[in-house]
Amino acid sequence: MSISAALSNALSGLSAVSRAADVVASNTANAMTEGYARRELSLSARNLGGSGAGVWSDGVARVFNQVVLNDRRLADADAANAGARYDFLTSFETLLGNPGEAGSLSSNVVGFETALIEAASRPDSEARLAAVLASAERLVGQLNALSGALQQTRTSADHSIATQVQRLNTSLAQIDRLNAEILAQRAAGHDANALMDQRQTQVDIVASIVPVREVAREGDQISLFTTGGAILLEGNAAVVGFAPAGLVTADMTLASGALSGLSINGMAVPPGDGGLFGGGSLGAAFAVRDELAPGMQMQIDAFARDLISRFQDPAVDPTLAPGEMGIFTDRGAPLDAANELGLAGRIALNTRIDPKQGGALWRLRDGIGAVTPGAVGNSGLLTALGDALTRAQPPQSGNFIGAARSSSGLAADILSQVSSARQTAEENRVYSGARQDALREMQLADGVDTDHEMQMLLQIEQAYAANARVISAMDELIQQLLAM
C-alpha cells in the first residue's frame, strides 16, 4: 500500500470517528428527551479502484421499533379512554354516596322514611311535621344536585371535545408540514432526523386523542389512519370539524341535533365511541356526553318519577283528585310521564306544604288537598305516606331489572349499578395502564442507553488513536524520504 493510500485511509477513519463522536454526544445529551430516537452512524467500506481503501459515512439512522411504537400509541389511546370513563363513574358514585353516609341518596330516603314514622307517632307535633318537610327538602335537593352535576359534566365533556379537536387539527397540520420539510431535507442531502423526532412527538399527541396507525410512505413520508378507518393524513391533512355547545341541558342530545358530532373535511362521520374516532380521550368525551351521563340521568329521572307517583295517588291521600300533585311535583306541575327527561333536576316540593311558600305543615297530616286543619291526633295519612314510600312496586321507567322495589331499594339499585360499572371501568383502567407501561418499557429498551454510549465512546477514542498513529507514522516516513 502506498503512503498516500494509507494516509487517505487514516483520514477517512478520522472523519468517521469524528462523526461517530457527534452521534454519541447527541444520544447522550438527549437521553431524557421525549420523542428522541437513538442515532446510529452507518459506515461502509470505501474502495477507490485499488488505489486505496477506507470508510464511508453513509449517514445517521434513527433506531426504533415501529411495531412497538404503534402498539404503544394504541395503548396510550386505550389508557386515556379507560381513565376518562373511570373518572366519570367514580365522580358520580361519590355524589350518590354510600349507604349510611350522611348526605347519600340512600340516607336521605331513609331519613325521609324515619321522619314520616316519627311524625305518625306524634301527629300533633309541629316539630316532627317540620322534620318531614326538611327531610323531603334534602331528598329533593340531592336529586336536583345530581342532575345539575350530570349536565355540568356533559357541558365539560362537550368543551373537552372542542379542545381536543382543535389540538388534533393543529397536530395533523404540523405533521403534514413536517412531512414536506423532511422530504425537502432528504432531497437536498441533509439530515432530517431532528424533524422526524418532532413528527413522532406530534403523532404521539394525535394517538392520545384517537387511536391511530402510522403507515410509512416513500421518501420518509407517513400517513395516518384511525383504527376505525378514518383517513387523517394521506398526502394532505384532514380537517376535523366540531361545533361546541355553550351549555348542555338534559334534553339536548346528538340524535335531536342539539349537540354536534364530528365531521371530516365537511362530511359527517358516524357517532359513537366504537365509530371512526372510537377509543382515545376523544371517544371517551363523546361517551360521557352522549352515553354515560345520559344513562345516569335516565336512572335518577326514573327514581324521581317513582317518588312523585307514590305520593300523587288518591289511594294514599284521599284529599287529592286524580292527576293532582302530591308532596312532590314536577316544578310545580303534576307528573307528566311523557316529559320525564330531566325530571330529577325539576322535582320540587308542593308549595301547599311549605310555610316559606305560603303553605302549611298541617297538610302533611290532614292531606295536601285539605282546606282546613283536621284533628291533630289523626296519624292515618302520615302512616299511609310512610307505607307508600316503603311499598315495593316495579319502577315505571329506567334501566332496572323490573323487580318490585321500595324507594330505598331503588336508590340502592342505582348505586349498585354505578358501583358495578365503576369496578369494571377500574379493571379496564388498570389493565390498559399496565399494558401502556409495559410497551413504554419496551420502547425505552430501544432508546438511549448511556452505558452503551460510553462504551461506544471508548471504541471511538481507540479508533481515533489508531488512525492518528497511522498519520503520524506516514508523516515520519515522508520526513525521512525528504531528508534523503
Report if residue 112 sits inside a domain.
Answer: yes
Model pLDDT, residue 52? 54
Does residue 51 register a pLDDT over 60? no
The closest alpha carbon to 388, from 309, 302, 335, belongs to 309
Identify the residue with better confidence: 41 or 418.
418
List Cα–Cα distances, 88 to 92, 95, 111, 160, 214, in angstroms: 6, 11, 27, 13, 31
The pLDDT tens digits of the residues spanning 407-441 come to: 999 999 999 999 999 999 999 999 999 999 999 88
Confidence category of residue 472, pLDDT binned at 50, 70, 90: confident
Amino acid 86 reads Y
DSSP 8-state symbol, 337 = G
Query: H or E stretch including 12?
Result: helix 3-29
279 φψ region: left (φ > 0), alpha (ψ -120 to 50), beta (else): left
The pLDDT tens digits of the residues spanning 161-178 come to: 999 999 999 999 999 999
Model pLDDT, residue 143? 97
| Whether residues 306 and 428 fall in one domain | yes
Report if residue 442 sits inside a domain.
Answer: no
Model pLDDT, residue 264? 93
Model pLDDT, residue 314? 93
The pLDDT tens digits of the residues spanning 3-27 come to: 777 777 777 777 777 877 887 888 7
Q: Please give the grid coordinates belonging to residue 269.
A: 362521520
Report if residue 443 sits inside a domain.
Answer: no
| Whether residues 281 and 353 fall in one domain | yes
Does residue 277 register a pLDDT over 90? no
Report if residue 81 sits inside a domain.
Answer: yes
Hey, which of 147-151, 320-324, 476-480 has the most confident mean pLDDT? 147-151
DSSP code per residue over 280-291 = HHHHHHHHIIII
CA distance 468 to 471: 5
- Residue 348's SS3 state is strand
| Whether residues 27 and 160 fall in one domain | no
pLDDT, average across residues 302-325: 93
Instruction: Please classify residue 338 by burial: count the beta carbons closer than 10 Å to its beta carbon, then call 0-12 exposed, 13-18 middle and 19+ buried.
Output: exposed
Does residue 202 register a pLDDT over 70? yes
| Whether residues 214 and 243 fall in one domain | yes
Report if residue 190 sits inside a domain.
Answer: yes
This prediction has a pTM of 0.85
Model pLDDT, residue 341? 94
CA distance 280 to 282: 5
| Whether residues 20 and 103 fall in one domain | no
Cβ 4 vs Cβ 461: under 8 Å: no
| Whether residues 236 and 331 fall in one domain | yes
Q: What percentage of the chain reaches a pLDDT higher than 70?
A: 96
pLDDT, average across residues 120-143: 96
Query: What is the count of structural domains for the chain?
Result: 2
Identify the residue with better confidence: 464 or 330.
330
Confidence category of residue 48, pLDDT binned at 50, 70, 90: low
Cβ 364 vs Cβ 133: under 8 Å: yes
Q: Which domain holds residue 225?
A: 70-436
| Whether residues 50 and 178 fall in one domain | no
Identify the residue with better confidence: 126 or 444.
126
| Whether residues 348 and 474 fall in one domain | no
Report if residue 137 sits inside a domain.
Answer: yes
Instruction: Please classify residue 428 by burial: count the beta carbons closer than 10 Å to its beta carbon, then call 0-12 exposed, 13-18 middle and 19+ buried.
Output: middle
Model pLDDT, residue 58? 66
Model pLDDT, residue 151? 96
CA distance 194 to 174: 14
Does residue 136 register a pLDDT over 70? yes
| Whether residues 148 and 206 fall in one domain | yes
Report if residue 441 sits inside a domain.
Answer: no
| Whether residues 38 and 117 fall in one domain | no
| Whether residues 319 and 286 fall in one domain | yes
Does residue 108 register a pLDDT over 60? yes
| Whether residues 57 and 160 fall in one domain | no
pLDDT, average across residues 361-371: 94
Report if residue 24 sits inside a domain.
Answer: yes
Confidence category of residue 40, pLDDT binned at 50, 70, 90: confident
